[in-house]
A and B are shown apart, each in its own frame.
Chain A
Amino acid sequence: MNEFKNAKEAYDNTPIPAELSERVQAGVREGKARYRARRGRTIRRWGATAACFAVLLAGLNLSPTIAKAAAEVPVLGGLFQVLTFVDYDKTEDGIHYDVTVPQLEAEGALAERVNAVVQEKVDAHLAKAQQDWDDYREAFFATGGTEEEWADREMDVLVDYEIKSQTDTRVSFVVTLAEGWVASMQERYYYNLDLSENRDLTLRDYLGEDWVNVCNASIQEQIDASVDEEGFTLFFTPEMGGFTTVDETTGFYVREDGTVVVCFPEYSIAAGAAGMPEFPIA
């Protein structure tokens, strides 16, 4: 068995890539976020239920304290509400669906249009997930997989949203579509709306005419600040396809405190370990 000692030695000496620990950190970040997303949904459901009760009680004028609390629940304030209209968590034919689709409830064409766009994206996402899964199953059996091995396989399909901020007339929210088994694929769509004016809000609305320069300067500064003592950064250089400029298609959301946060998709301007880079614009 001495031969195995040598083989094991060769195995133990497998070169370890320098970026391994970043990749593990990225996995940790994403895994924790997904775990929170799962649990968060449960908590939010309860929150919504609580809000309903609060309204009910306030309506009956039983408690001024609860009436005040109800006014502070963001989904109940303002001209409109963001409501969940599809919400299910089920496993069907090996696919675990965890789907929460937002719907805006407000007067006017904008809300209708946004709802239609969101629904269209969700439908396309679910169809693609089903197709990927079918392709995968075919490849699985074609390469000698057995029914028994197939049985404990599961793919996750996630649709979720997060309201970043809301005022009486404006709402900023993010819809996340994800699919995961081998490659984790995640897409985010950002919506910033003014319901009273019935239109999409742009970076220009928040940052003024000079919005491109304002964003670019701030983003470049943050990228520069990410370089460590050894000159390393996860961000690509412009020559490597890294950040050059924001434009009309750049995603962003608005925080509660009014700060605009510009977002880029995974891998677009930085290595995967950086996740989806976000830049608060000061």
Chain B
Amino acid sequence: MTKEETLTSFLIETQTRSYRLAYSVLHNREEALDAVQTAVCRALERQDSLRDPGAVKTWFTRILMNTCNDTLRQRGRVVPFPEERPELGQEDPEPADDTLAQRVNALPAEVGTVIKLRFYEELTLKEIGEVTGQNISTVKSRLYAGLRKLRVAMEGAEI
């Protein structure tokens, strides 16, 4: 397989993961679809910038997160407040109020992203650093800040 074919199958195979991640940031079905499409397009367009094929996951996640962040910035708010959220379709139920998932969504974007990547996508701290362009200590401090805000018991938790 050529590099382009390998990348294409990766993008197709991981599309549901990409959508979930985009949706968890944007909470809007259409915007999440747009973000995935745009990120896939950008990834192929700039395939030459993927130097290490082994790092494709973090490389693409970074493109996707940047695309999502751009969308957030475009609509002029970084943190979507519940009352400002766009109408949600019936098929996309939000977690019930006050569940942990809801509280994760309410976190400031930069903290929420770290939490989501760590616990939902199960990326390592190093990978999160690569995706978000932060050094490990920033990732760690954001992770702890997030957990503190969520008041999740951390005893014995493997972070």
| Contacts from A to B (Cβ < 8 Å) | 1, 3-4, 6-8, 10-12, 14-17, 19-21, 23-28, 30-32, 34-35, 38, 136, 139-140, 143-145, 149, 152-153, 156, 180-184, 272
Contacts and interface: CB of A to CB of B under 8 A. Distances in A.
A180 B19 CA distance: 20
Nearest to A21: B15
B29 to A, nearest CB: 6
A181 B67 CA distance: 8
A24 B36 CA distance: 7
A27 B37 contact: yes
A143 B76 contact: yes
Contacts of B95: 7, 10
Given A143-B73, A145-B73, A182 B67 contact: yes
Contact of A182 (B12, B38, B46): B38
Interface of B: 4, 8, 11-12, 15-16, 18-20, 23-24, 29, 33-34, 36-47, 66-67, 70-74, 76-78, 91-93, 95, 99-101, 104, 116, 119-120, 133, 152-154, 156-157
The list of the 7 closest CB pairs from A to B, nearest first, reads A31-B44, A27-B40, A31-B41, A27-B37, A7-B101, A34-B45, A27-B41
A4 B20 contact: no
A7 B99 contact: yes
A28 B8 contact: yes
A96 to B, nearest CB: 10
B15 A24 contact: yes
A183 B101 contact: no
B152 A27 contact: no
A1 B155 CA distance: 8
Which of A7, A35, A136, A139 has the most chain B CB atoms inside 10 A of its CB? A7
Contacts of B8: 28, 32
A23 B37 contact: yes
Contact of A1 (B29, B67, B153): B153
Contacts of A23: 33-34, 36-37
Given A14-B20, A15-B91, A182-B38, A144 B45 contact: no
